[in-house]
Structure formats: structure tokens, C-alpha cells
Amino acid sequence: MRSTLVLSLAAACLSAQVKFTAHQQDGATDSVAVAIDGKPFTTWQYGAAVAKPFLAPVRSASGKIVTRGFPMEQIPGESRDHLHHTGLWFSYDDVNGVKFWENHPSYTKPHMGKIVVRSSEFHDGDRSGTLTAVNEWRDPEGQVLLVETRKMVFYSDPQLRTIDFEITLTASRDLTFGDTKEGAFAIRLAEPFTERKGGRMVDADGRATMAQVWGKRSNWVDYTAVLDGERLGVAMFDHPSNPRHPTYWHARDYGLFALNPFGQNAFDPNAEESQWKLPSGRKLTFRWSVVVHPGDAQTGHVADLYQKYAAR
């Protein structure tokens, strides 16, 4: 893995607008910093010290951090709940009964798994750059349940910060994804995004606040807040090619913002309980996007951005 990172760095174009820089700290935490147009955007964090890889912090084009610092950082005034909510991540809490969502290393809960990054490769670019990671989802005994290939494309733009995700899961054995709300593609936002601090969530169907958005299906959800005098939004898109599109939303008023294609009865008690089977050797692919934008859903033209993404 290390040789791949070094070769990618050596081949990087000096004029690239999306640039990656790899770091290693005492063998416990590996990271790849992402800069756009010469400014820091986010960092891909993984290694022996974490239970699942994640991107944090995530910034707007103006440089403001939209993700919660905790538990990676201790910031005065921030909430201290949910240690397993780390930046921007993807995991799920019932894969053959193994928990990959509530799996912070400090927890002593049974049946906790770990997502281990086997390799990372990245390529700088003028308009976009790509980071691809191969991750193993391991059960408590260290056996691999599935191999995840996570391709992340980062785009250069003067006002937007956009990441497109293509995630392919390959079953290493027969798998069942159980029915739980605890998942799956998620971001934990900074304190101003909470509803009690004035944050506001809306979905593609015009519903607003957690009371109306949580547990509903929609093409996208947008969460907005005022950070240091600037109104900013974070939108999450579910691509129309995805299985079970439009997805259910596990969006909470305290800043958790997640989509969940696996849960069903957990969101709608009238729906059949889902037991999603993925036989050994079979693949499952999802495409999602995250956009950090100025303004709210209307002034930020989130509906138009989604249409462009859906056609991409």
C-alpha cells in the first residue's frame, strides 16, 4: 500500500487543482489529505486506531468546517454523544448480525466488527481527483465478511465542494443485511446544524424538520445552518440507479444526517421486514454524492444540482 501511495505522489501534476497528500502517524492512524484549489478540504482517515474509515473534517469552499469535531477533537460547546459518529462515513449495523455502525474502539458491545482499509490509491487532477480504497469488513474473529471498493471523486469548483461516491460491496460469504435504522451512508454535522441551534433540514419532496423527514423516502435531503455569518448547506444525493431508490432517510435533529437503503420496517412499521441477501461472490453497487454549498436548498439550487448528478 505504501509504495502505491508514493508512486501516486510522484506522478502528481504540480498544477493540479485537486491534490492528495499521504501521512502516517506511528502506524496507528494513516491519512490522506485532500486539497482543492490550494485550500484544505478534508482528510481520509483510517488505520489501526479507528474502527471504520472516514472523512473529517469536511469544509466549505469558503473554508468553514461543516462536520462535528468530536470525538476526533475536543471543541468547547460541542455535543459529546455517539462516539461512533465520525465525520463522513459508510457502515451498517447488521451484516450477518455483526455491528459495523456502533463500533467505536472504546465500546464493549458484543458482535462488533471492524472495517479495515487494505489499500488506498489516489490521482490528482485539474478539475477532479480520485481516491479509491479497498476495505475489508471483518467480524469479531477477524474473518472477512465482504470487500468494499470505495471510489471517491472530488471536484474543483469556486463555490461548491462535491464528492461523488461509488461503493461496490463484494460478498466473501453468503450475507444478510438485517433491518435496522442504524446506517448507512452518513455525516455528523457541526453544532450550528442542529435544530435547537437553528439548523433546518428539507427533502426533495418539500418536507421540513426531522419530524417530517426522518423515515421518509426521497431523492435527496439538504441540511442548512449559519456558520460564522454565512449560510451553508450540506446536501446528500441518492442516485436513481441505486437499488431501492429513493432511499429511506435516518436524519436526526441533532446533526446526524444519513441515508439507509437496507432498513425498511425500521422506518415504516407497515413495511415488510427486510432481510437483504447477497450470496457469496455477488456484488452490490451504490452511488451517492455529498455537496457542500452556499445558501439554503432554494438559493443553493439543490434540486438543479441533483438533476445534474442524476444525469452524470
Q: How many domains does the chain have?
A: 1
- pLDDT 10s digits, 136-186: 999 999 999 999 999 999 999 999 999 999 999 999 999 999 999 999 999
Retrieve residue 132's grid coordinates.
Answer: 479509491
CA distances from 127 to 15, 37, 179 (A): 11, 9, 39
Rg (alpha carbons) of the chain, rounded to whole number: 18
- pLDDT 10s digits, 47-69: 988 999 999 999 999 999 999 99
Query: In this structure, which long-range contacts are made by residues 138-141, counting pairs with CB atoms below 8 Å and at least 24 apart in sequence?
Result: 138/113, 138/114, 139/96, 139/98, 139/113, 140/98, 140/110, 140/111, 140/112, 140/113
> Is residue 22 left, alpha or beta, with left meaning phi > 0 and alpha meaning psi from -120 to 50?
beta
**pLDDT band at residue 25 under the 50/70/90 scheme:** confident
Q: What is the distance between the alpha carbons of residues 215 and 209, in angstroms, rounded to a whole number?
A: 12
**pLDDT band at residue 27 under the 50/70/90 scheme:** low
> Is residue 202 left, alpha or beta, with left meaning phi > 0 and alpha meaning psi from -120 to 50?
beta
Retrieve residue 66's grid coordinates.
Answer: 461543516
Instruction: Return all residues near 12 (Cβ < 8 A) that are at least 6 apart.
Output: 19, 20, 123, 124
* Whether residue 71 has a cis bond before it, omega within 30° of 0: yes
Q: What is the distance between the alpha carbons of residues 254 and 102, in angstroms, rounded to a whole number?
A: 17
Number of other residues whose CB lies within 10 A of the CB of residue 76: 4
Which residue segment(s) compose the domain that 31 sits in? 2-310
- pLDDT 10s digits, 182-235: 999 999 999 999 999 999 999 999 999 999 999 999 999 999 999 999 999 999
Residue with cell string 459529546:
80
Geometric angle at alpha carbon 251, from 247 and 257, rounded to 5° = 95
Retrieve residue 250's grid coordinates.
Answer: 435516518
Picking from 257, 258, 255, 252, the residue whose alpha carbon sits closest to that of residue 192 is 255
The CATH number of the domain where 48 resides is what? 2.70.98
